[in-house]
Chains A and B, each alone.
Chain A
């Protein structure tokens, strides 16, 4: 249910992992590579992950969701390596009996990915490159250190 992959992600494959008879809704979040960030043009991106720990932390997000929304089921696949503009970087699929849970648990998943999953993004611009999130003290965890659980 939780994967780090190096090849293009199939949205349908991730969605199928949560498809089930109990579901009345499936929400699918597709995170893609954006060309412009605050006016600056991105040429391409590179994602790097601590693969084994990333899978473990994605699993932890799954556990957190099970505690908060017992009837939700989540699957997450994140891609690493070199990505071009509009490529899919991450797909999160959540199924639940009702849509509200499916929406909420899906948003929760992406927020937690940005806090606790060891994946890093390097931006390639016309005038240079930068690992995002860690530049000489500018980078901060938005809500303090990544907590072990919520």
Chain B
């Protein structure tokens, strides 16, 4: 099982701040495609991804128990 965190626009569209799903042993890109098929309003290509609070690339493999966060372009400060 993995935990996926949603923020900002993504959270508003999906209506949840997190979900726990059985989607390990796939790449970040595959996870993005999975969510894109469920939520066509969201374009995941423009989101960065963090696994366990570190930025990763789309090729990164997701492991069991990982926490994955999709990071829209940030606007703090």
Binding site for B on A (CB under 8 A): 31, 47-50, 52-54, 56, 78, 89-90, 110, 113-122, 131-137, 139-141, 145-146, 148
Contacts and interface: CB of A to CB of B under 8 A. Distances in A.
Given A122-B8, A139-B46, A146-B55, A131 B72 contact: yes
B9 A131 contact: yes
B43 interface: yes
B75 A132 contact: yes
Going nearest first, the 7 A-B pairs with the smallest beta carbon separation are A119-B76, A133-B75, A134-B72, A120-B8, A133-B73, A132-B75, A53-B53
Q: Per DSSP, are chain A's interface residues mostly helix, strand or loop, or mixed?
A: mixed
B8 A139 contact: no
Sort chain B's interface into a size bin. 20 to 34
A21 B4 CA distance: 46
Contact of B48 (A54, A114, A119, A145): A145
Interface string B5-16: 101110110000
B8 A48 contact: yes
Contacts of B73: 133-134, 139-141
Contact of A116 (B11, B43, B74): B74
Nearest to B76: A119
Contacts of B75: 114, 119-121, 131-134
Given A53-B69, A133-B72, A110 B50 contact: no
